Amino acid sequence: MKFVKIAGLGKYLPSKRLLNSDLEKMVDTSDEWIIARTGIEERRIAEKGVGASGLAYKASQIALERAGIDPQDLDLIIVATITPDTQFPSTACYLQDYLKAKKAVCFDMSAACAGFVYALVNAWQLIRGGLYKNALVVGSEVLSTITDWEDRSTCVLFGDGAGAAVLTESTEPGFLSAYLGSDGSQTDILNMPGGGSRNPISSEVIDNRMNYMKMKGNEIFKIAVRIMVQAANKALVKANLDKSSIDMLIPHQANQRIISAVAKRLSIPKDKIYLNIARYGNMSSASSAVALCEAWEDKKIHKDSIVVLDAFGGGLVWGSCVIKWV
Ligand code: ACO
């Protein structure tokens, strides 16, 4: 079995900023409520007509350059997204074409906010098993296209963006462990009911606003805290590490209060948790990817740092992954 490391990271955030004060003009909400209940101050919105592949392309170019890997040497591209450019072909195939990564095998990963962690673990295992050498893993979302801008309980939460990681073989680990989980009995608390094969796009779907995300926020809140703590602990045990060995926790950025509750239960001090929710809101699969990239750019991750990714989202799905930075 081969060792695997992250060789380069990149991110892309659209330049258009949507402030809480802008949302005050759209729905019955306030800057005070949004900051107090979520920690979000602003989010980014992609230009009309720009799909997940467009954001992914810009993040991927940076990650590949930093890794020193030519796109033509990529064996695998996985794009984690719940806002693919089209139902098919996959967003990963569009990205392959932009990058001219002709020999890469491409597919999308649908695991909502845990998508980037799921995709990383898949790429790690495919390289570890010897099938591929170089992989590009991207979390990219244009959530603004599936956000109901008339629903104050969800529209204040989400934003657009992309983060990318290049994975390669390594002489030392790298990826140490992972713990993934799913619970399909709770599909009703966070979903998008329309636009798929069960309720294809129709005037009825549109009239009932079924082509937008629906969420029972406070039910998810409690489950998210419990599961994220459990996932991080299980991944740490698999890596033979204690929570005191965490140098940087990269939690999914859904709600500042969820992150604080998870950190408290894991006894992790504030300076070891990466937070960017105030600037970007919840970008689903892109959240962990962008946070990991920014933690590295901000020099919060060094050689030998123990980094723990911890994500949770609609499905329900969750995943935690322990990486030693090499
Ligand atoms: N502005 C003002 N008031 C609001 C707003 C708003 N934007 N939204 C809701 N409220 C009101 C509600 O109507 C309710 O009023 P009421 O008491 O008169 O009925 C009150 O605020 C409290 O509402 P709650 O939903 O109980 O508020 P809560 O404190 O739970 O916060 C939130 C809501 C932010 C959504 C929180 O529950 C949360 O973050 N949940 C988890 C989200 C998450 O982790 N999702 C998973 C990942 S997303 C993915 O996978 C795509």
Quote the ligand 1 centre to 218 CA distance (angstroms): 6
The reported pLDDT for the residue numbered 34 is 98
Range of the domain at 275: 176-324
Sequence-separated (6 or more) residues with CB below 8 Å from residue 140: 52, 53, 55, 56, 59, 79, 80, 81, 83, 91, 161, 162, 163, 285, 286
State whether 96 and 190 are in the same domain: no
Dump pLDDT digits (tens) for 280-325.
999 999 999 999 999 999 999 999 999 999 999 999 999 999 999 9
Q: How many residues does the chain have?
A: 326
- Ligand 1 lined by 282 (C-beta under 6 Å): yes
pTM for the full model? 0.97
Same-domain pairing of 138 and 218 = no
Distance CA 137, CA 74 (A): 11
Residue 142's pLDDT is 98
Q: What is the Cα–Cα distance from 170 to 147, expressed in whole angstroms? A: 40
pLDDT averaged over the chain?
97
Two structure tokens written together for 247: 């140098």
Same domain, 181 and 262: yes
CA distance 151 to 26: 10
Q: CA distances (Å), 326 to each of 2, 39, 296, 297, 302, in order?
A: 14, 32, 12, 15, 8
> pLDDT tens across 135-180, in order?
999 999 999 999 999 999 999 999 999 999 999 999 999 999 999 9
Residues 156, 291, single domain; the answer is no
Tell me if 284 CB under 6 Å of ligand 1: yes
One domain, residues 302 and 221? yes
Contact 124, 132 (CB under 8 A): no
- Out of 106, 122, 211, 252, the active site residue is 252
| CATH number of domain containing 218 | 3.40.47.10
- Contact between residue 142 and residue 15 where contact means Cβ atoms under 8 Å apart: no
**Residue 126: HSE in the Cβ half-sphere, 13 Å Cα cutoff:** 21
Quick one: pLDDT at residue 162? 98
89 lines ligand 1 (CB under 6 A): no
Instruction: State whether 104 and 213 are in the same domain.
Output: no
Same domain for 188 and 273: yes
Domain's final residue, options 171, 198, 230: 171
Q: What is the pLDDT of residue 226?
A: 96
Whether residue 158 is found in the same domain as residue 198: no
Of 126, 141, 171, which residue constitutes the final position of a domain? 171
Q: What is the pLDDT of residues 213-258, one digit of tens each?
A: 999 999 999 999 999 999 999 999 999 999 999 999 999 999 999 9
pLDDT attached to residue 1: 82
| 109 beta partners | 80
Evaluate whether 164 touches 9 at the Cβ level (below 8 Å).
yes
Predicted confidence band at 65 (pLDDT cuts at 50, 70, 90)? very high
**Phi and psi, residue 266, nearest 5°:** -90, 0
- Same domain flag for 12 and 156: yes
134 with 75: CB under 8 angstroms?
A: yes
Assess whether the C-beta atom of 114 lies below 6 angstroms from ligand 1: no
Write down which residue in 143, 171, 199 finishes a domain: 171
How many Å lie between the centroid of ligand 1 and the Cα of residue 40? Answer: 12
Instruction: Give the chain's domain count.
Output: 2
Residues 47 and 150 in one domain: yes
Q: In terms of domains, do 135 and 238 share one?
A: no
pLDDT in tens, 169-211: 999 999 999 999 999 999 999 999 999 999 999 999 999 999 9
Same domain, 110 and 10: yes
CA distance 297 to 5: 17
Q: Residue ranges of the alpha helices (H) in 173-321?
A: 203-207, 217-238, 256-266, 277-280, 285-297
